[in-house]
């Protein structure tokens, strides 16, 4: 083990790895109408990913979340997971829209990636289609059920937007209680395509909690200091979370780094600067990582033009 990387007192232990920028959905808050994706050959290979992550483990990275774009569009997803499983990581997890997840479940079942966050912004088929431009609500719900039956730990991520799906918050809480599954409500972030709509769409965490509290009651659950989510239980024992990145930012306790699908490591979702680690020798990591750590802001940056699918959400 070399030094443990930290930024102004924040240990940098969690890494988001974007496997690709491409996606089969066109979520209104993420994907522009005319999205341009990288060439496939430019994505890090599974060997490059495990090599870079292996080097970062030596500097204190403990947990990896695979994301994108849509990570299940990578045919070698199980291979990536298997290679990461050989490193000394405490946790490997996946964020996915679950539309293509079913086919990967058998290959992932006995592996090290046991936790998945599934993005689900509507429980109404028409609204699901309006938000994602995809017709697959039933398939996503079936996949959630199947994954849970196979023993995967599933949480739901729901981006809440005023006038689009904020009326569904209570229904999602009922879903959480009925299915005994944690639903995390995300404030829409002022990123990429959201920027011209931010004032119109932003529904604050306070409003979300007020809506839930009035009908379901809420008791806070103690979370680790670097948790992005506030978590609560309802009176009926349902578990719900809130990630209020805009109205209640958590930069002061942020432990995250991000590796892009092309190998650029950055210190913050909201800052474009980073360092390319592709082909970098282990002996060259220390000064590069120090530079990256210094790039991490202490307070929330207001907006970023780069869309989420390109950054790796
Ligand atoms: N395609 C996968 C998915 O949707 O789960 C993984 C990538 S996606 C970029 C990761 C997460 O970022 C999703 O939960 C998505 O809802 C969230 N996200 C994307 N754009 C966002 C925005 N502008 N504000 C808040 N969350 C956003
Ligand atoms: Fe695709 Fe995920 Fe972005 Fe939706 S949020 S368009 S599923 S990358």
Q: How far apart are CA 140 and CA 158, in angstroms?
A: 13
* Ligand nearest to the CA of residue 31, numbered in listed order: 2
- What does the pLDDT look like over 84-125, one tens digit per residue? 999 999 999 999 999 999 999 999 999 999 999 999 999 999
Give the pocket of ligand 1 (CB within 6 Å): 23, 29-30, 67-68, 70, 95-97, 119, 157, 159, 186, 188-189, 191, 194, 308-309, 313
Q: How far is the CA of 96 from the centre of ligand 1 (A)?
A: 9
Give the Å distances, CA to CA, from 242 to 154, 179, 232.
16, 18, 8
Placement of tokens 């650029």 in the chain: 264
Q: What is the mean pLDDT of residues 237-264?
A: 95
The packing angle between helices 285-295 and 46-57, to 10°, is 80
User: Is residue 1 scored above 60 in pLDDT?
Assistant: no
Q: Which fold has domain 6-311?
A: TIM Barrel (3.20.20)
What phi and psi values does residue 278 have, to the nearest 5 degrees?
A: -65, 125
Q: How far is the CA of 161 from the centre of ligand 1 (A)?
A: 13
**Is-contact 247 209, C-beta < 8 A?**
no
Percent of the chain with pLDDT over 90: 93
- What does the pLDDT look like over 19-50, one tens digit per residue? 999 999 999 999 998 888 999 999 999 999 99
Torsion angle of C-alpha atoms 96, 167, 190, 302, degrees rounded to 10: -120
For the Cβ of 156 lying below 6 angstroms from any atom of ligand 2, the answer is no
Going by C-alpha positions, the residue among 79, 113, 121 that lies closest to residue 94 is 113
Q: Binning pLDDT at 50, 70 and 90, where does residue 171 land? A: very high
Structure tokens at 238: 């349902």
Percent of the chain with pLDDT over 70: 99
Q: Binning pLDDT at 50, 70 and 90, where does residue 2 land? A: low
User: Is residue 224 scored above 60 in pLDDT?
Assistant: yes
For the Cβ of 30 lying below 6 angstroms from any atom of ligand 2, the answer is yes
Q: How far apart are CA 149 and CA 16, in angstroms?
A: 26
What phi and psi values does residue 187 have, to the nearest 5 degrees?
A: -70, 140
Mean of all residue pLDDT scores within the chain = 96
**Is-contact 185 145, C-beta < 8 A?**
no
The CA R_g of the chain, rounded to the nearest whole Å, is 19
Structure tokens at 103: 């086919």
Q: What is the pTM of this model?
A: 0.97
- What does the pLDDT look like over 63-73, one tens digit per residue? 999 999 999 99
Q: How far apart are CA 150 and CA 146, in angstroms?
A: 6
User: Is residue 3 scored above 70 in pLDDT?
Assistant: yes
Identify how many contiguous H helices and E strands the chain contains and give both numbers: 10, 14
Q: How far is the CA of 67 from the centre of ligand 2 (A)?
A: 10
**Structure confidence at residue 35 (pLDDT):** 87
Q: Give the distance from CA 285 to its chain's centroid.
A: 25
């Amino acid at each position: 083990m070399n030094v443990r990387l930290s930024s102004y007192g924040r240990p940098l232990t969690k890494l988001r790895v974007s496997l690709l920028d491409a996606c089969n959905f066109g979520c209104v808050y993420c994907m522009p109408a005319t999205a341009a994706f990288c060439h496939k050959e430019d994505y890090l290979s599974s060997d490059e990913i495990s090599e870079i992550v292996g080097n970062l483990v030596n500097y204190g990275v403990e947990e990896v979340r695979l994301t994108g774009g849509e990570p299940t569009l990578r045919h070698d997803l199980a291979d990536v997971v298997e290679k990461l499983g050989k490193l000394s990581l405490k946790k490997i997890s996946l964020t996915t829209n679950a539309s293509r997840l079913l086919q990967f479940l058998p290959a992932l079942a006995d592996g090290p990636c046991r936790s998945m966050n599934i993005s689900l912004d509507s429980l109404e088929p028409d609204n699901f289609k309006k938000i994602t431009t995809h017709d697959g609500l039933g398939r996503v719900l079936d996949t959630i059920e199947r994954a849970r039956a196979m023993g995967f730990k599933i949480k739901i991520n729901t981006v809440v937007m005023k006038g689009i799906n904020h009326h569904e918050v209570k229904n999602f809480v009922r879903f959480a209680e009925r299915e005994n599954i944690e639903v995390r409500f995300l404030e829409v972030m002022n990123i990429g395509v959201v920027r011209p709509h931010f004032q119109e769409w932003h529904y604050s965490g306070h409003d979300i909690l007020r809506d839930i509290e009035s009908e379901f009651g809420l008791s806070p659950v103690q979370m680790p200091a670097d948790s992005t989510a506030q978590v609560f239980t309802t009176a009926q024992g349902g578990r719900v979370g809130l990630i209020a990145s805009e109205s209640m930012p958590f930069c002061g306790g942020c432990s995250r780094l991000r590796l892009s699908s092309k190998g650029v490591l950055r210190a913050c979702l909201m800052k474009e600067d980073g360092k390319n680690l592709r082909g970098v020798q282990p002996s060259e990591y220390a000064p590069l990582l120090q530079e990256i750590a210094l790039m991490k802001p202490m307070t929330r940056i207001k907006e970023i033009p780069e869309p989420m699918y390109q950054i790796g959400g």
